[in-house]
Each structure stands twice: as C-alpha cells, then as structure tokens.
C-alpha cells in the first residue's frame, strides 16, 4: 500500500498543472464518444468496465461476513476495519484512474495499464539507471500480487459459512450445516482448496475469463444482498403497511 501511495501522490503532483483541464477535456471527449457510438454505447462501456474492474472495490464483504471471528468489541472493530478498507480502496482506485489521463496510459502487449503507468512514473523520478528503472516496477507489481494472494485466503474462513447456509437449503450434503464441528470446517476448507485449482485448470488460467467469473459471483451476491436489505428495511419502516 505504501508503494502505491507514493506513486499515486507523486504522479498527481507531478502533473498538477494538467488537473484544471482534466474535467473540461474529459467532458468534451465524452461528448465526442457519445456522438460516435451513442449514449447507450457509452453506458455499455461503463457497465463493462465496472463488471471487469469493479472487483477492485470488493473485500468489505470478507469483514462483514465474518464479524463473529473478530475480537471484542466485534461490531466496533468490524465498522472501523470496513472504514479503513473503504478509504484505502477508494483512494487507490480513484488515484490510479486519475493517473491514466495525465500520464497518457496506453495499452501495451503483455503489460497492464497499471504497469505502464507506474513504469512511466518511476522513469520520470530519475531514481537510478536503466536496470533500477526496470526492477522497481516489478517490485511494485510483486507487492500487488502479494496483496492478491493474501486476499485469496479470505475464501477459507468464509467458505465453510457459505457451505453451511447451502446445506440448510439442501444444495450440498447436510453434514456441512453443523459449522461449529471442527470436521465440518475442515471439510469446507478442503472443498474450497480443491475447487480453486479445478477452476484454474478448467479456465486454463485465462485471466479474462477468471475476472468475468469472479465479477458475476461477486456482483450477483452484492445485488441479492442489497435487495434483501432494502426489502427488510422497507418492511421494518414505521411508514410500511406491514408495521402495526
């Protein structure tokens, strides 16, 4: 997180003179795009970008789904943890998106936009020779890969809970329902561990397909959960007809 913080802040400050033109230029380019493909096409592009890149803002559910595993006071700890995560995710996502424009990020074969942008920023810093400028972007991306590796483990504490709920509705064997049993938790983690490499083998490790599968599962869960919460609060509202 510290490396990205330094790169984002430096990248914005280095092109601070460009920021006043950013909004007017973006509005003009958006109108030109809309006149070319229509507002429906623009909306479709935004939805596609959100579905494939919005997974960056996930992770809050890992805390909310496992509040019972947090130290006391659980509710306060969970709220503070989710606040810190939300702030860091919002800063990182908005900061990186903001960097794309002033640094003129372009798609390069075999390289992500983040890698291209960070490399341009590191090159402009003049920290060392060509070798160091080649190594530093790799280190930054290695830290990001480490964060993803840690985030991947959030499925193991949450997986048995999901299996327990599915077992209650007879989607999986009922023995997975009794979550306090150590064997049930162990089997749930084992199922998650086997499913992960199986999906990798089935998709042949194609990141584009894996991201789509991830986005479908994540946003479907979010949409259903949010709909359920809205329905619950509408029923519990004092103005609701169902409330006496």
Question: Taking residues 41-64, what's their average pLDDT?
Answer: 74
Q: In this predicted model, what pLDDT tens digit does every residue of 54-105 receive, in sequence order?
A: 666 666 666 766 777 777 888 888 888 888 888 888 888 888 888 888 888 8
Spatial distance between the Cα atoms of 164 and 188, rounded to a whole number of angstroms: 9
What pLDDT does residue 85 have?
81
Q: In this predicted model, what pLDDT tens digit does every residue of 169-181 receive, in sequence order?
A: 888 787 777 766 6
| Average pLDDT over all residues of the chain | 79
Q: In this predicted model, what pLDDT tens digit does every residue of 111-126 receive, in sequence order?
A: 778 888 888 888 887 7
Spatial distance between the Cα atoms of 146 and 143, rounded to a whole number of angstroms: 5
Domain ranges (residues) in the chain: 1-17+58-148
b/e map of 63-80 (b: 16 or more CB within 10 Å)? Answer: bebeeeeeeeeeeeebee
> Apex CA 123: angle with CA 127 and CA 121, to 5°?
105
What pLDDT does residue 235 have?
84
pLDDT confidence of 243, banded at 50, 70, 90?
very low
Q: In this predicted model, what pLDDT tens digit does every residue of 128-165 receive, in sequence order?
A: 667 777 787 788 778 877 777 777 777 777 777 777 77
Percent of the chain surpassing pLDDT 70? 86
**Res. 211: pLDDT tops 80:** no
């Amino acid at each position: 997180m510290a490396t990205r913080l330094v790169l984002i802040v430096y990248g914005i400050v280095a092109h601070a003179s460009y920021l006043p033109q950013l909004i007017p230029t973006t509005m003009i380019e958006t109108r030109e795009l809309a006149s070319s493909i229509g507002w429906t096409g623009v909306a479709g592009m935004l939805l596609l970008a959100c579905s494939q890149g919005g997974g960056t803002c996930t992770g809050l559910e890992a805390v909310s789904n496992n509040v019972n595993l947090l130290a006391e006071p659980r509710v306060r700890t969970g709220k503070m943890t989710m606040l810190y995560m939300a702030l860091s995710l919002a800063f990182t996502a908005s900061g990186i998106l903001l960097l794309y424009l002033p640094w003129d990020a372009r798609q390069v074969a075999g390289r992500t936009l983040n890698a291209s942008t960070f490399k341009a920023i590191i090159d402009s810093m003049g920290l060392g020779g060509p070798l160091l400028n080649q190594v530093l972007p790799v280190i930054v991306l290695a830290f990001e890969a480490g964060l993803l590796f840690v985030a991947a483990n959030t499925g193991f504490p949450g997986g048995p809970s999901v299996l327990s709920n599915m077992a209650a509705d007879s989607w999986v064997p009922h023995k997975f329902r009794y979550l306090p049993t150590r064997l049930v938790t162990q089997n749930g983690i084992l199922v998650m561990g086997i499913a992960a490499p199986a999906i990798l083998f089935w998709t042949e490790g194609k990141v584009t397909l894996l991201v789509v599968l991830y986005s479908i599962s994540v946003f479907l869960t979010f949409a259903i959960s949010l709909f359920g919460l809205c329905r619950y609060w509408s029923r519990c509202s004092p103005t609701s007809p169902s409330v006496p």
